Amino acid sequence: MTSAGHVQSETGQPYVGLRAFRQQDRGLFFGREREAREIATLWQADRLTVMYGTSGVGKTSLLHAGVLPFLGSDRVDALPVGRVAPDPALLVSTAPVRSVYTLSLLSSWSAAPPAELAGLTIRDFLDRRPARVDRYDDPIPTLISIDQAEEMFTGAPYQESDLEEFVAQLADALQANAGLRLLLSMRQEYLASIVPFERVLGQGSRSWFHLLPFRRETALEAIRRPLDGTARRFGDNAAELLVDDLQTVTIDNDQGERTVLKVSGVEPVQLQVVCSALWESLPPEVHEITVDHVRLYANVDRFLTGFCRRMLKEVAERHNVPEGSIRSWLKRAFITEHGTRGTAYEGLHQTSGMPNAVVRALEDRHILKAEYRAGARWYELQHDRLIAAIRHTDPETSLQAARTALSRAQWAHARELTEDAVRTAEFDDLGVRAGAEAIFGDVAVGTGEPETARRHYDAAAEMFAVLQRADGVGRVLAAKGRLSLKLGDFSEAVSALSAAVARVPGDTSAQTDLARAFWHVGQPRAALIVLNGALAVTGETLLDALALRGAILADLDQPKAALRDLDLVRQHQQPATLAARALALALAGRFDAAEQEAADAIANAGHDGPVLLRAARVHVILGNAGAAAALAARAVRADDPALPEHLREQARRLLPEPD
């Protein structure tokens, strides 16, 4: 016991995580005092009490850590919680039994060898126990319970034949002992299965209790109170923020539309998963868990995604089914195109193509839940919150989808997918965070937020550097350089792109952009060196690099070399390439062809300064001084793109002298 009167767990963890609470965990079990009291009262009062609820709502935990400790051993004679799932090991070297359910239940109550229990009925076993009385010598009630009682109805055919005998033995024991009380704890989808037996078991005295998820106030108690025996506590609004997150569900449909839902209850299994993971994520020196800690470490989606990964891996290994196949099946069978929960009914051997043994295993691990409808058993995901966890189990998949959205200029969707990847990644997964920052930068470029883009690119570069990922650093610096190129910050573009090419020397796109940056700062020969290197090492025809080298060679009055490149890109000519080819043709003395191509370039030039200047130079060579001056004037005023400074001076020389 701690000084606060709370029992610590064996590991010092105040939250039990995925497993159910045990009786020794009662000092950590909070938020269910009302339910424990009501069930204890019903159990003592009625011959039959049925507690039911969905999978993961906490029935087993409530029974062990809430109800049994509340009763007290001096007021009732409570046997250990029983189970009836037949264990084949119990039947080895055991004489034939009248009911395997009976043997399983008696084995839950006694450590005696199965052979000694095989011939006993439930009444026989109970009659052999010494009668217990209170301090007034009055008999005290004998309480028996069966947890996961739905196991009576989920066995193989040979077990189903034992069910009637088992129920008859229970009824006989209840009738023979006026103080005997039975509690059945079961999933609510099996309620219809117990109805035919409730009269014979209850004998006119029966009650039902529906266990629901936590309410907001009880969820807060279940979060805060386990810390009473530790050196930590929740600060103002921190636990409330955690509950808000547990009650918020985000749904994405196939069109990228997002819906945010607020649910009223909090699933106990989800609360334990998240709180356990939060506790383990906190630095050792943290004593007060603040709102900032919750925001930083209590990523509900990431924790639930980790939970899904572990459960799918367990099921995949146990049943020898590829994990990817299970994940794809879950998406196909239980998530609609609208991003909501779908349903699938259980067939004789398979559910929507998946073996029923695998489906039942997923139900046991709180991924799926089932209910009976129209005579069939239907499955769905345990909670809306698992939709995102199933869809985005692999954060890298989300990042790849975000990159696809970027390629389609779907900026908002790319941002949302990237946010999903960050939410579902492990906190210390720096690779995912670095990739996400790079995508956030690309999104900011697309939405016209250059300063935001630079911040994201800088953050991504730092993370990739920590990971010693030179390729990642290079890609981010190349993106930052292209942004500077676009904004007209050519010196910064040269710096960023030079650093990028040094780290990723095989990135010919970055080399082409670096050459373009050199040209803009008035270093065309440096640009040619970069382009020559890029074109020499690749076996591909790099149209952009060829077009740019041809244009620069034309600007440098080298028509033969320029035409050699420009002739290779004639099928993909843009106005800039047309104007460069026109200039090269004029320099080579092919005036008619030059005049025609210059006219084509001018027709589509718009406010492109370099195109207009090259066309002006063509007209100078053709002897059309007036046309050349007009085009040069337009080139000086152009802004899409504007002329680099070294070409602007060249254009001014073509203007007539002022009077």
Neighbours of 657 (CB within 10 A): 4
| In the block, residue with structure tokens 């069109």 | 255
Looking at the chain, the whole-number percentage of residues with pLDDT higher than 90 is: 53
**Which is more confidently placed, 44 or 139?**
44
Q: Is the confidence at residue 93, as pLDDT, over 50?
A: no
- pTM for the model stands at 0.55
Q: What is d(CA 633, CA 651) in angstroms, rounded to the nearest whole number?
A: 7
Q: Does residue 53 contact residue 85 with C-beta atoms inside 8 Å? A: no
Q: What is d(CA 242, CA 216) in angstroms, rounded to the nearest whole number?
A: 11
Nearest to 405 by CA among 419, 393, 386: 419
Position 541 scores a pLDDT of 57
Residue 42 tokens, joined: 């019903």
Q: Which CATH architecture has domain 549-659?
A: Alpha Horseshoe (1.25)
CATH 3.40.50.300 intervals, the chain: 32-210
Position 385 scores a pLDDT of 67
Q: What is d(CA 560, CA 542) in angstroms, rounded to the nearest whole number?
A: 19
Q: Is the confidence at residue 1, as pLDDT, over 50?
A: no
CATH 1.10.10.10 intervals, the chain: 303-391
Residue 613 tokens, joined: 């200047």
Q: What is d(CA 335, CA 341) in angstroms, rounded to the nearest whole number?
A: 5
Q: What is d(CA 443, CA 452) in angstroms, rounded to the nearest whole number?
A: 10
CATH class of the 32-210 domain in this structure: alpha beta
- Going by CATH, does the domain composed of 303-391 fall within 3.30.230.10? no
Contacts of 405 (CB under 8 A, 6+ apart): 256, 411, 413, 414, 417
Tens digits of residue pLDDT in 352-406: 999 999 999 998 888 888 876 656 788 988 776 678 778 765 677 778 878 888 9
Tens digits of residue pLDDT in 579-637: 999 999 999 999 999 999 999 999 988 899 999 999 999 999 999 999 999 999 999 99
Average pLDDT of the residues of the chain: 87
Q: Is 95 exposed, middle or buried (0-12, 13-18, 19+ CB in 10 A)?
A: exposed
Position 208 scores a pLDDT of 95
Please, which residues bridge with residue 249 across strands?
Answer: 261
Q: Is 536 exposed, middle or buried (0-12, 13-18, 19+ CB in 10 A)?
A: exposed
Q: Which helix (H) or strand (E) holds 273?
A: helix 268-281
Tens digits of residue pLDDT in 418-445: 887 787 676 668 899 999 999 999 999 9
Helix (H, G, I), strand (E, B) or coil at 378: strand
| In the block, residue with structure tokens 């995949």 | 316
Q: What is d(CA 24, CA 17) in angstroms, rounded to the nearest whole number?
A: 15
Position 256 scores a pLDDT of 58
How confident is the model over 247-258, as a mean pLDDT?
67
Contacts of 417 (CB under 8 A, 6+ apart): 256, 398, 399, 401, 402, 405
Report the interhelical angle of 411-424 vs 430-446 (nearest 10°): 170
What are the φ and ψ backbone dihedral angles of 391, each rounded to 5 degrees? -70, -35
Q: Does residue 81 contact residue 21 with C-beta atoms inside 8 Å? A: no
How confident is the model over 457-466, as a mean pLDDT?
94
Q: Is the confidence at residue 538, as pLDDT, over 70?
A: no
Looking at the chain, the whole-number percentage of residues with pLDDT higher than 70 is: 91
